[in-house]
Amino acid sequence: TSAKLWGGRFTGETDPLMDAFNASIHFDKKMYEADIRGSQAYAKALSKKGIINNDECATLVDGLEKVLEEWQNNTFVIKPGDEDIHTANERRLGEFVGSVAGKLHTGRSRNDQVTTDLRIWAREEARKLLGYLKQLIAVAVERAEREIDVLMPGYTHLQRAQPIRWSHWLLSYAWSWQADAKRLEQIIDRLNVLPLGSGALAGNPFNIDRGFLAQELGFNGIIQNSLYGVSDRDYIAELLFWASMAMVHISRISEDLIIYSSGEFGFVTLADAYSTGSSLMPQKKNPDSLELLRGKSGRVFGQLSGFLMTYKGLPSTYNKDLQEDKEPLFDAVETLSGSLQITAGVLSTLTIHPQKMRQNLSIDMLATDLAEYLVRKGVPFRETHHIAGAAVRLAEERNTSMSALSLSDFKHLHTAFDNDIFEIWDFEKSVENRSSLGGTSKQTVIEQIRILRSWLAEH
Ligand code: ARG
C-alpha cells in the first residue's frame, strides 16, 4: 500500500506531477500555528471522552508544542510526502512521540480541520488589519486637527466647485476607513464559529464536546450542521469583498493625491521615502507609492472574482476545489497589510502647500454663495441660481472677476442686492457658512474629529 496518510486503499503510486499539483504545503504552511492549536484542543477533547488517556493527551499536546517551536524557529523540514500543513504536522508529531500520534485524528477529518485552521488564521490576520486601519484613521485625524485652517478647492467632476477645508477632504477618507473597520469587525464576528467536530461531512461519532473545543480555540459559536461546516467558505468571499472595498478607498485617495501632487496642482509633495526618481529625467519625482496602491487594487478585485468562480459550482460539502480558497485570501491579506501601512506612511509624511491651494480658489467658486445671499433676502433659490449665473456670465464677458462688479451691476440683476454683497467674496466665510452637521465649517470638522477620536479610543 501507499505510504500516504490516506494510502490504505491505494496500491499504485501517484504521478509525481500529480503529487506536486495536489500539494498545498508551500502555501498553507502559513497556518501552522492555527493547525497546531486546533490539534491540541482536539487532543484534549478526545481525552475528555476517554478516547485517549491523560498521559497520551499530555504527550500529544507537548509533542505538538515542539512541532510549533520548529516552525517558529524556522527549523521545520518539509519532507517530500508532506502534502499539506495538516499531514506535515501529524508526520512530525509522529517522529516526536511515536505511534500515539496516530490517535490524534480520531473522528476528525482534514475537511473540518482545514476550515477550522483557516477561520482561526483569518480571524487573527483580520485583527491585525483592523489595527493597521485604526492607525491610518489616527493619522488622518491627527493631520486634520493640525491643519484645520487650510482651505483648498473642492471638486466635483474634477472641476473647481466650492472652497472646503483640507481637513474635511482628509476626513472624508477617514470615514470610509471607519466603515471598512466596522465591516471587518462584523465579518470577524460572523466567521468566528467552530466547524471542528463536523468530521468529514456527517458529524463526529465520539460525542466530542464541541462547546469545549469552541472555548479552547476562542470561537464564539458552533456551526450546527456538519455538511455546512465543511462546505461553507462564505467568510473567504466576505473577506475578499472587504479587501476589495478597502482597496477602492485606498485607490481613490491615491488618485486624488497623484493629481494634487502634479506640477499643475502642486497642493502636496510626497516625502522622499515614498517617491522614486526617473532613470532618464533627472528632474522627476514620481508618486510610485500611490500608483502601486492604485494598481494593487486591481489585483485584489481579481482574487475576489477568481474565488467566486471557484466556489459557485461546487456540490455539497468538501471538494478539493476548496483548496483554491487559500491563495486568494493569503494574497489579499498580504496586499492589504502592505497597502494600509504604506498609505499611513504616505499620509503622515507628505507636505502640503496651503499657499498653492489658496491660489487655486477663485471667485467664481462663490457663485453658490451669491445665490444663497439672495435666498437670505427672500428670493426663491431657483431664481437666485439664474441671477447668480447671470453675474458669472457678466464677469466673464467683461473678462473680470465677480468681485469687481459694482453695486449697480448687481442691482441691475436684482433689486434685492445691497451694499453687504461685497462681504460674500470671502472664502473663509463661505466655508464657515457650511456649519450644518457634516459640513466643512471649522466647528463641524472639529466635531468629526471628536467623534472619530472617541470611536478610536473605544476600539
Ligand atoms: N489541503 C486541503 C485543503 O486545503 C486540506 C483538506 C483536504 N481534504 C481532503 N479530503 N482531501 O483544502
What are the cell numbers at 307? 474565488
- Structural domain of residue 149, as residue ranges? 111-200+224-359
Ligand 1 atom at shortest distance from the alpha carbon of 318: 10
Task: Indicate whether residue 329 lines ligand 1 (CB < 6 A).
Answer: no
Task: Please enumerate, as own/partner, the contacts of 57-66 that have beta carbons within 8 Å and a separation of 24 or more.
Answer: 59/97, 59/100, 60/93, 60/97, 60/100, 60/101, 60/103, 60/104, 62/97, 63/93, 63/96, 63/97, 63/101, 64/36, 64/39, 64/40, 64/89, 64/93, 65/36, 65/40, 66/96
Q: In the listed set 305, 327, 359, which residue is the last one of a domain according to the structure?
A: 359
Shared-domain flag, residues 403 and 277: no
Claim to verify: residue 44 and residue 131 sit in the same structural domain: no
To test the ligand 1 pocket, which listed residue (31, 110, 236, 307) has its Cβ within 8 A of the most ligand atoms? 110
Catalytic residue numbers, as ranges: 157, 278
Task: Tell me what ipTM this predicted complex has.
Answer: 0.97
Nearest to 317 by CA among 235, 233, 231: 231
Which amino acid belongs to residue 236?
I
CA of 111 to the centre of ligand 1 (A): 6
CA of 74 to the centre of ligand 1 (A): 24
CA gap 126, 142 in Å, rounded: 24
What atom of ligand 1 comes closest to residue 326's alpha carbon? 4
Residue 169 lies in a domain: yes
> Does 317 contact ligand 1 (Cβ within 6 A)?
no
Measure CA of the first residue to CA of the last residue in the chain; give whole Å.
55
Q: What is the pLDDT of residue 1?
A: 61
With a 6 A CB cut-off, is 115 part of the ligand 1 pocket? no
Is the CB of 82 inside a 6 Å radius of any atom of ligand 1? no
For residue 92, what pLDDT is reported? 98
Q: How far is the CA of 320 from the centre of ligand 1 (A)?
A: 6
Residue 185 lies in a domain: yes
With respect to residue 266, please indicate whether it lies within any of the assigned structural domains: yes
Asked, for residue 331, whether it belongs to a domain, the answer is yes
Report angle CA 366, 369, 370 to the nearest 5 degrees: 90
**Residue 453: inside a domain:** no
Q: Separation of 323 CA from ligand 1 center, angstroms?
A: 6
| 256 and 162 in a common domain | yes
Q: Looking at the domain assignment, is residue 459 inside a domain? A: no
For residue 194, the 8-state DSSP code is B
Ranges of residues in the chain whose predicted pLDDT is under 50: none
Same-domain pairing of 336 and 394:
no
| Residues 56 and 169 reside in one and the same domain | no
Per-residue model confidence (pLDDT) at position 5: 78
| Atom 11 of ligand 1, residue of closest alpha carbon | 320
User: Of 90, 106, 122, at which residue does a domain stop?
Assistant: 106
* Ligand 1 contact, 35 CB (< 6 A): no
pLDDT digits (tens, 9 = 90+) for 311-332: 999 999 999 999 999 999 999 9
Which helix (H) or strand (E) covers residue 119, if one does?
helix 110-146
Provide the sign of the torsion angle of the four alpha carbons 49, 109, 63, 194, taken in this order.
negative
- Cα(334) to ligand 1 centroid in Å equals 22
114, 325, 329: residue to mutate for ligand 1 pocket, most atoms within 8 A of CB: 114
Shared domain for 383 and 323, answered yes or no, is no
Please count the structural domains in the chain.
Answer: 3
For residues 45 and 87, what is the distance between their CA atoms, to the nearest angstrom?
A: 20
Per the listing, cell 456551526 goes with: 223
CATH code, domain with 396: 1.10.40.30
Q: Which helix (H) or strand (E) holds 192?
A: none
| Cα–Cα distance measured from residue 330 to residue 249, given in angstroms and rounded to the nearest whole number | 20
Using CA positions, which residue lies closest to atom 2 of ligand 1?
323
Q: What would the pLDDT profile of 41-55 be if each residue is shown by its tens digit?
A: 999 999 999 999 999
The answer, yes or no, to whether any atom of ligand 1 lies below 6 A from the CB of 319, is no
CB-ligand 1 contact for 111 (6 Å cutoff): yes
Q: Which residue has the cell 477561520?
A: 119
Cα 221 to averaged position of ligand 1 atoms, centre (Å) = 23
Shared-domain flag, residues 141 and 287: yes
Question: Are 46 and 152 members of one domain?
Answer: no
What is the C-alpha to C-alpha distance for residues 75 and 96, in angstroms, rounded to an integer? 14
Of residues 207, 208, 348, 204, the one with CA closest to residue 271: 348
pTM score, two decimals?
0.95
Distance of CA 46 from the midpoint of ligand 1 (Å): 22
Which of 317, 323, 327 to mutate for ligand 1's pocket (most ligand atoms within 8 Å of CB)?
323
Query: How far, in Å, CA of 21 to CA of 15, rounded?
Result: 10
Closest residue CA from atom 4 of ligand 1: 323
- The CATH number of the domain holding residue 93 is 1.10.275.10
168: domain CATH number is: 1.20.200.10
Q: Which helix (H) or strand (E) holds 143?
A: helix 110-146
Q: Report yes or no on 127 lying in a domain.
A: yes
Identify whether residues 188 and 49 lie together within a single domain.
Answer: no
Measured from the CB, is residue 92 less than 6 Å from ligand 1? no
Q: Are residues 388 and 330 in the same domain?
A: no
pLDDT score of 194: 98
Q: Which atom of ligand 1 is nearest to the CA of 24?
A: 1
Domain final residue, candidates 341, 359, 377: 359
In a shared domain, residues 231 and 91: no
Q: Is residue 449 part of a domain?
A: no
Ligand 1 touching residue 246 (CB < 6 A) = no
What pLDDT, on a 0 to 100 scale, did the predictor assign at position 279? 82
CA-CA distance, 308 to 151, in Å (whole number)? 44
Distance 455 CA to ligand 1 centre (A): 41
370 in the same domain as 331: no
